[in-house]
């Protein structure tokens, strides 16, 4: 290999962790990936083993450092992560106190309900852009303090963090930081603040002493321990996965919107330098902070997307593998009247119904597994249609939607979304834009580019899907959807 230098991205998702090696111009050189074990101890509970996350991330990272020709060939590291997931550990030992509570986990609904009933949601939304829901991190932290033996007694030794905090702590040997995009998903960080809010920490019962220092999305945050890779490597870019994907899609201007289809589906519209306010159950969030300027986004979070296909495959055996879903969807002209409501872990935006459960309706003796699989895939575009109406009502209507994430590689789904939304959808040839966004941030933090616009050469080219569905067909399908949703 030549003397070229590389960017290393650690992309720790919900179902797998990956390390990706990029050139400074955005070319993917190599990837290493390992699955993350999913733990479901009871209905509505989702957990990960934080030690496993670290061990498997480190193994992937070492493989890419070796591929690069050694740590001295790595210019910088960028980290992107599943958001809202909470890790708790002991600062003295570095050991987790319990399994990580995953963003999908619903165990704190009762806590959220109490706060909601007490009238706190409007104030929390005004400050943080978030609603009261188990999705966000603060009530997970409160649950750990109340339910994990010894957690509260640790005092100053207790550390809380989302997954990027946990990875950086282990990479550096004790640096406890979180970037603004992840901090904005905790319910403890006002959108325009520079640090944690005492009032919010008090409301949720989370001690500030346990929380990390908040940093921008780019910068010289620290270096890895020498013994991990044979030499120190600078960590210069941090972002939650959905914000990173927005950057990796080149949504640098106000109004540009992306939809990531992974385990869940997440739509973010760049709202520029003004904190967004939603009157239609969408979320305001920090997009990134680069060069001293903070950008914001309006977000719609869908809890179930790719995980529905995984459920069809692993839990009820309708698929041999995920790729089979596209062939089955194409094998029938329509869903045969079947409608799937994908509420396997409640419904997120724009409904916010944590107790909702999934359903399959419209079954008949003529129904085949192909109809059920097709209806399952159709549910993505159906939810997106409802989200599109909410975004438009909040002044962020879509003229083009940029798709990414593993599920968007399915051409049938990409076309179906374009058809149901009746707008063009663009999909980059490299659908893994989350990692690409982290690479862009790391490159800026390392001084390879001066701004997001300067880093535009790192973006991938896109294919376009144009809407082709007849109006009456779209109208009929959405009517069936509204009936199944009872809305």
Mean pLDDT calculated for residue range 476-482: 95
Residue 156 lies in a domain: yes
Identify whether 19 is part of a domain: yes
Q: How would you classify the pairing of strands 234-240 and 74-81?
A: parallel
pLDDT of residue 1: 35
Residue 412 neighbours by CB under 8 Å, 6+ apart = 326, 329, 330, 377
The DSSP code sequence of 422-479 is: TS-EEEESS--HHHHHHHHHHHHHTTS-SSTTTTGGGSPPEEEE-----HHHHHHHHH
pLDDT at 3: 58
Decide: helix, strand or coil at residue 37. coil
- pLDDT tens across 87-138, in order? 999 999 999 999 999 998 999 999 999 999 999 999 999 999 999 999 999 9
- Cβ atoms within 10 Å of 418's Cβ, excluding its own: 24
Q: Is the pLDDT of residue 268 over 80?
A: yes
Query: Stretch 409-414: mean pLDDT, rounded?
Result: 92
> What is the average pLDDT across 171-175?
97
Of 122-131, 154-163, 267-276, 346-355, least confident by mean pLDDT is 346-355
Average pLDDT over residues 219-223: 96
Residue 26 φ then ψ, to 5°: 95, 5
Q: What is the mean pLDDT of residues 368-394?
A: 95
Would 453 be classed as within a structural domain? no
Query: Would the pLDDT of 465 be above 60?
Result: yes
Tokens representing 294 are 């903070």
Residue 460, pLDDT > 70, answer yes
| pLDDT on residue 346 | 84
User: Is 32:60 a contact under the CB 8 Å cutoff?
Assistant: yes
Q: Is residue 143 part of a domain?
A: yes
Instruction: With H, G, I as helix, E, B as strand and everything else as coil, classify residue 217.
Output: coil
Q: Rounded distance, CA 451 to CA 443, Å? A: 10
In a domain, 410, yes or no: no
Residue predicted with more confidence, 302 or 175: 175
Q: What confidence tier does 405 reach under pLDDT thresholds 50, 70, 90?
A: confident
Model confidence at 426, in pLDDT bands (50, 70, 90)?
A: very high
Question: What is the domain-level CATH number for residue 64?
Answer: 3.30.420.40
Bridge partners, residue 158, by sequence: 90
Check residue 354 and give its pLDDT: 78
Of 111, 48, 115, 54, the residue nearest 85 (C-alpha):
48
pLDDT 10s digits, 343-360: 988 888 888 887 889 999
pLDDT of residue 349: 81
Count CB atoms within 10 A of the CB of residue 409: 17
Token couple for 458: 């790192």
In a domain, 287, yes or no: no
Cis peptide before 20 (omega within 30 of 0): no
Over residues 150-172, the mean pLDDT reads: 96
pLDDT score for 209: 96
- The mean per-residue pLDDT over the stretch 3-30 comes to 93
CA distances from 27 to 7, 30, 71, 136, 294 (A): 10, 9, 19, 34, 27
Report yes or no on 456 lying in a domain: no
What gap in Å lies between CA 256 and CA 397, rounded to an integer?
Answer: 10
Residue 42 placed within a domain: yes
Place of tokens 């500030």: 208
pLDDT(2) > 60? no
What does the pLDDT look like over 49-92, one tens digit per residue? Answer: 999 999 999 999 999 999 999 999 999 999 999 999 999 999 99
% of the chain residues with pLDDT over 90: 84
Per-residue tokens: 433: 């834009």
Is the separation of the CB atoms in 348 and 354 below 8 Å?
A: no
Name the average pLDDT for the chain: 94
251-255 mean pLDDT: 92
Query: How many structural domains comprise the chain?
Result: 1
Residue 159's domain comprises 6-241
């Amino acid at each position: 290999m030549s003397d070229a230098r590389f960017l290393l991205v650690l992309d720790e998702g919900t179902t797998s962790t990956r390390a990706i090696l990029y050139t400074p111009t955005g070319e993917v050189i190599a990837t290493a990936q390992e699955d993350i074990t999913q733990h479901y101890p009871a209905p509505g509970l989702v957990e990960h083993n934080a030690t496993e996350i670290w061990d498997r991330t480190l193994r992937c990272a070492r493989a890419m450092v070796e591929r690069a020709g050694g740590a001295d060939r790595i210019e910088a590291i960028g980290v992107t992560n599943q958001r809202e997931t909470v890790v708790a550990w002991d600062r003295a030992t570095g050991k987790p106190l319990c399994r990580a509570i995953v963003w999908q986990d619903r165990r704190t609904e009762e806590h959220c309900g109490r706060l909601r009933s007490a009238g706190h949601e409007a104030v929390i939304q005004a400050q943080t852009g978030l609603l009261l829901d188990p999705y966000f991190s603060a009530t997970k932290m409160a649950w750990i303090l109340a339910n994990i033996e010894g957690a509260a007694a640790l005092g100053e030794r207790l550390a809380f963090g989302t997954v990027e905090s946990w990875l950086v702590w282990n990479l550096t040997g004790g640096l406890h930081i979180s970037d603004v995009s992840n901090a904005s998903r905790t319910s403890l960080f006002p959108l325009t603040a520079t640090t944690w809010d005492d009032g919010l920490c008090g409301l949720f019962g989370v001690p500030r002493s346990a929380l990390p220092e908040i940093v921008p999305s780019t910068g010289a945050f620290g270096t890895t321990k020498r013994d991990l890779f044979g030499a120190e490597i600078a960590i210069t870019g941090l972002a939650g996965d959905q914000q990173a994907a927005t950057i990796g899609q080149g949504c640098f201007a106000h109004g540009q919107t992306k939809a990531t289809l992974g385990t869940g589906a997440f739509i973010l519209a760049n709202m520029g330098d003004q904190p967004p306010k939603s009157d239609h159950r969408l979320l305001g969030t920090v997009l990134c902070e680069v060069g001293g300027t903070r950008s914001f986004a309006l977000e719609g979070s869908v809890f179930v997307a790719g995980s529905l296909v995984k459920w069809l495959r692993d839990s009820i055996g309708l698929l041999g593998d995920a790729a089979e879903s596209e062939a089955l969807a194409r094998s029938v002209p329509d869903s045969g009247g079947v409608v799937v409501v994908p509420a396997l872990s409640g419904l997120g935006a724009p409904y916010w119904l944590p107790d909702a459960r999934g359903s399959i309706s419209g079954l008949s003796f003529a129904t085949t597994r192909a109809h059920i699989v097709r209806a399952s895939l159709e549910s993505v575009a159906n939810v997106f249609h409802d989200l599109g109406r909410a975004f438009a009502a909040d002044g962020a209507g879509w003229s083009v939607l940029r798709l990414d994430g593993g599920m968007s590689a399915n051409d049938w789904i990409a076309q179906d979304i374009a058809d149901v939304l009746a707008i063009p959808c663009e999909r980059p040839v490299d659908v893994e834009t989350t990692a690409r966004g982290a690479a862009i941030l790391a490159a800026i933090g390392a001084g390879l580019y001066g701004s997001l616009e300067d880093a535009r050469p790192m973006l991938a080219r896109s294919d376009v899907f144009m809407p082709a569905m007849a109006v009456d067909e779209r109208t009929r399908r959405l009517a069936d959807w509204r009936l199944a949703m009872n809305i």
